[in-house]
């Protein structure tokens, strides 16, 4: 089969840490919008979108135009942190896209190209500004794989083999379906607020005043878990009252994904720093920290990196930011997200393996459970990661790329491009429903 030899060589030559390559043994040769074509000629609807990177899908004409124009102009492609017209224009587009109250007087640090680089930079920035070391971070959080970012990430399995990193105080994220307090809903959310506040104020609570709190407004890798707006406002109040800078990680939620240009707009909070990557580069690598200028206590060279000047990414990113804003794609994502949640929730009656459907905008999670298992205090059933793997395979067999995430990797995560058509969305729902039904169907006289 075409592509087989490439897959075989990848298996023997690349690291054992391969991830998506294991879940999707395909060799993409062409892609356009939401469609990816494999070397074997098969076509797939891509609900992974480069882990939420491709706001406009693959090879959008606006992105390709921006890249071609920049190439044809003869602009240098690599420039450390020197000034360029492309960077100037990207910075303008970025600041224009941010809430005015935050953008006014904000500073931008261009970082190494990945989200994790920007997380490291943000943590370091706040440590420098406050002279403190520790960080407050949440259960279920994902901030990246480098040392500092991994320290604030929640995933125990990836942290366990490594020496413990940094002074991190773990706080309970308001994940209603598997509430850390066994309460769920508003009582669980309220308890998280009270616990956070009391822990920070307890002179014997063991928490030395931290350099920052870092959070995601909607946890992505954590399983598409949106934080309630009221809870986010409470975290903003609690940190502001105690002089703790608040960093919001919008690496995955940014650029219209959640139904607003930036996820903080739903709650109206103004953070002290925002970490941005993925979609801001219009499918090319780019990462920045934007922060209030009062925290700009860095000396020249205090934070550096060779790859801070990716001209093509800046051109593609500026074009993407402007296209999303000009075409109301955030609002569209909000509407389509509500439709997706309603349609997928309606499947629960026939498919009791669907424990919960949740999310915000086009960042949707379908949590798969074992209906024969025992309910917890909140009425949640045990996660079914083995079923989730079978559903992912059944999706792929039906031409649908869907990745897993969340607790126990039992959450199907839907991250279609913001440009997904109504017809494509219908196909996603139909294929997903079919795949879940097929994977959940008892085989061989009932053994699953
Ligand atoms: N923060 C969040 C919220 C993310 O979702 C991710 C990536 N999934 C990262 C940080 C890390 O980004 P990268 O993989 O580019 O390092």
Nearest alpha carbon, ligand 1 atom 5 = 252
Verify whether ligand 1 is closer than 6 Å to residue 263 (CB atom): no
Q: Tell me: the pLDDT tens digits for 336-350?
A: 999 999 999 999 999
Residue 163: the pLDDT is 83
What six digits make up the tokens of 213?
Answer: 């709190």
Residue 445 pLDDT exceeds 60: no
What fold, for 62-326?
3.40.640
Nearest to residue 46, comparing CAs of 25, 31, 27? Answer: 31
pLDDT value, residue 447: 44
Would strands 35-38 and 43-46 be described as parallel, antiparallel, or unpaired?
Answer: antiparallel
Confidence (pLDDT) at 444: 59
Residue recorded with tokens 């298992």? 373
Task: Give the architecture-level CATH label for domain 2-59+328-446.
Answer: Alpha-Beta Complex (3.90)
Instruction: Please indicate whether residue 66, judged by its CB atom, sits closer than 6 Å to ligand 1.
Output: no
Q: What is the mean pLDDT of residues 56-63?
A: 98
Query: Once rounded to an integer, what is the mean pLDDT over residues 422-438?
Result: 98
Cα of 372 vs centre of ligand 1, distance in Å, is 35
Q: How far apart are CA 42 and CA 31, in angstroms?
A: 11
Summarize pLDDT for 290-344 with one digit per residue, the tens: 999 999 999 999 999 999 999 999 999 999 999 999 999 999 999 999 999 999 9
Quick count: other Cβ atoms within 10 Å of Cβ 140? 24
Nearest protein Cα to ligand 1, atom 12: 115
Q: Which of 277, 406, 411 most suits a substitution to test ligand 1, by most atoms within 8 Å of the C-beta?
A: 277
Residues 152-197: tens digit of each pLDDT: 999 999 999 988 778 999 999 999 999 999 999 999 999 999 999 9
Question: Among the atoms of ligand 1, which is closest to the Cα of residue 149?
Answer: 10
- With both helix axes pointing from N to C terminus, report the angle between 61-73 and 311-326 in degrees, rounded to the nearest 10: 140
Centre of ligand 1 from the C-alpha of residue 142, in Å: 7
Q: What is the mean pLDDT of the chain?
A: 96
Kindly state if the Cβ of 218 falls inside 6 Å of ligand 1.
no
In the predicted model, what is the mean pLDDT of residues 254-261? Answer: 98
Domain with CATH 3.40.640.10 in the chain: 62-326
Q: Is 60 exceeded by the pLDDT of residue 352? A: yes
Q: How far, in Å, CA of 25 to CA of 107, rounded?
A: 42
Give the residue range(s) of CATH 3.90.1150.10 domains in the chain: 2-59+328-446
Q: Which residues are bridge partners to 369 per DSSP?
A: 383
Q: In percent, how much of the chain has pLDDT > 90? A: 96
User: What is the rounded average pLDDT of the residues 417-438?
Assistant: 98
Straight-line distance from the first to the last Cα atom of the chain, in angstroms, rounded to the nearest whole number: 31
- The residue whose C-alpha atom lies closest to atom 10 belonging to ligand 1 is 143
DSSP per-residue string spanning 19-61: -HHHH----EEEEEBTEEEETTS-EEEESSHHHHT-TT-BT-H
Q: Is 220 in the pocket of ligand 1 (CB under 6 A)?
A: yes
Is the CB of residue 260 below 6 angstroms from any atom belonging to ligand 1? no
């Amino acid at each position: 089969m075409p592509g087989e030899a490439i897959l075989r060589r990848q298996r023997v030559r690349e690291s054992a840490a391969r991830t998506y390559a294991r879940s999707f043994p395909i060799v993409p040769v062409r892609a356009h919008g939401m469609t990816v074509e494999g070397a074997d000629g098969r076509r797939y609807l891509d609900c992974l979108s480069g882990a939420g990177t491709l706001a406009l899908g693959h090879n959008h004409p606006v992105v390709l135009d921006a890249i071609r124009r920049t190439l044809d102009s003869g602009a240098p492609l690599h420039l450390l942190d020197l000034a360029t017209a492309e960077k100037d224009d990207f910075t303008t587009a970025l600041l224009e896209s941010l809430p005015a109250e935050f953008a006014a007087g904000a500073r931008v640090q261009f970082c190494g190209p990945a989200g994790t680089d920007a997380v490291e930079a943000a943590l370091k920035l706040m440590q420098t500004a406050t002279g403190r070391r520790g960080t407050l971070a949440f259960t279920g959080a994902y901030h990246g794989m480098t040392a500092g970012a991994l320290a604030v990430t929640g995933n125990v399995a990836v942290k366990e083999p490594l020496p413990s990193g940094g002074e991190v105080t773990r706080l309970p994220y308001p994940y209603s379906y598997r509430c850390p307090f066994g309460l769920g809903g508003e009582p669980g959310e309220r308890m998280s607020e009270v616990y956070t506040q009391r822990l920070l104020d307890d002179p014997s609570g063991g928490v030395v005043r931290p350099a920052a709190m870092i959070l995601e407004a909607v946890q992505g890798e954590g399983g598409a878990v949106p934080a309630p707006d009221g809870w986010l406002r409470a975290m903003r109040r609690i940190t502001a009252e105690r002089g703790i800078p608040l960093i919001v990680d919008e690496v995955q939620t940014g650029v219209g994904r959640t139904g607003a240009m930036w996820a903080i707009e739903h709650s109206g909070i103004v953070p002290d720093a925002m970490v941005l990557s993925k979609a801001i580069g219009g499918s090319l690598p780019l990462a920045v920290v934007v922060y209030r200028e009062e925290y700009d206590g860095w000396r020249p060279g205090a934070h550096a990196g060779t790859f801070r000047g990716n001209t093509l990414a800046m051109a593609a990113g500026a074009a993407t930011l402007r296209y999303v804003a000009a075409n109301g794609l955030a609002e569209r994502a909000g509407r389509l997200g509500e439709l997706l949640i309603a349609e997928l929730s309606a499947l629960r009656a026939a498919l009791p393996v669907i424990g919960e459907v949740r999310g915000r905008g086009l960042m949707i999670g379908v949590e798969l459970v074992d209906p024969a298992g025992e309910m917890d205090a909140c009425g949640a059933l045990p996660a079914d990661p083995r079923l989730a793997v079978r559903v992912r395979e059944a999706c792929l067999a039906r031409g649908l790329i869907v990745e897993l995430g969340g607790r126990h990797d039992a959450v199907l995560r839907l991250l279609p491009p913001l440009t997904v058509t109504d017809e494509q969305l219908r196909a996603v729902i139909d294929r997903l429903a079919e795949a879940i039904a097929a994977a959940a169907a008892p085989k061989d006289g009932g053994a699953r």
